[in-house]
Amino acid sequence: MAETEKKADCIFCRIVAGEIPSTKVFEDEVSYAFRDINPQAPTHILIVPKTHIESCAVLGEENEALVGKIFSNIAKIAKEEKLSGGFRVISNSGDDAGQTVHHLHFHILGGKEMGEGLVP
Ligand code: 5GP
Ligand code: ZN
């Protein structure tokens, strides 16, 4: 099962539950978006599902509606944050990608020109 309600030792589950403070940007019934604690661009937001899912690697058909909703929420957030010049969405999945928090999340990065390269 890719999705569980909450994992007690997961930082992002604890942020969603309000146990760890965060700067909220957006929330709906399935997702929560907040500012990254260590921003790597003028605008750096994380959007996460409210349920615990490890990463993109475990997604299946049962998560399709959720992921679709998250992406339409990303478009809303980008508009609200006035990222009309463009923005980048990244989801690190697993060790080779440098995933440090093992709760599915999408980085929304913008507010500066980032160039064409994806991998530093
Ligand atoms: P990853 O490397 O797993 O793709 O990204 C994890 C992100 O979560 C990092 O950009 C990191 O700065 C952010 N992060 C880690 N802990 C916290 C926290 O407690 N609060 C917030 N707002 N962001 C966090
Ligand atoms: Zn979690």
CATH of the domain at 43: 3.30.428.10
CB 57 within 8 A of CB 93: yes
Ligand 1 lined by 38 (C-beta under 6 Å): yes
Q: What is the pLDDT of residues 49-77, one digit of tens each?
A: 999 999 999 999 999 999 999 999 999 99
| 21 within ligand 1 shell (Cβ under 6 A) | no
The whole-model pTM stands at 0.96
Q: Which residues contact 14 (CB under 8 A, 6 or more apart)?
A: 20
Total domains, the chain: 1
Q: How far is the CA of 113 from the centre of ligand 2 (A)?
A: 31
For residue 24, is it within any domain? yes
State whether the beta carbon of 11 lies less than 6 angstroms from ligand 1.
yes
**Which ligand sits closest to the CA of 34?**
1
Domain assignment of residue 115, yes or no: no
Within-domain flag for 57: yes
59 lies in some domain: yes
Where in the sequence is the domain holding 72, given as residue range(s)?
A: 11-110
Q: Residues 50, 54, 56, 60: is their CA dihedral positive or negative?
A: negative
Residue 1 has pLDDT above 50, yes or no: no
Question: Does some domain include residue 4?
Answer: no
Residue 20: inside a domain, yes or no?
A: yes
Asked whether 92 and 70 are in contact (CB, 8 A), the reply is no
- What pLDDT, on the 0 to 100 scale, is given for residue 95? 97
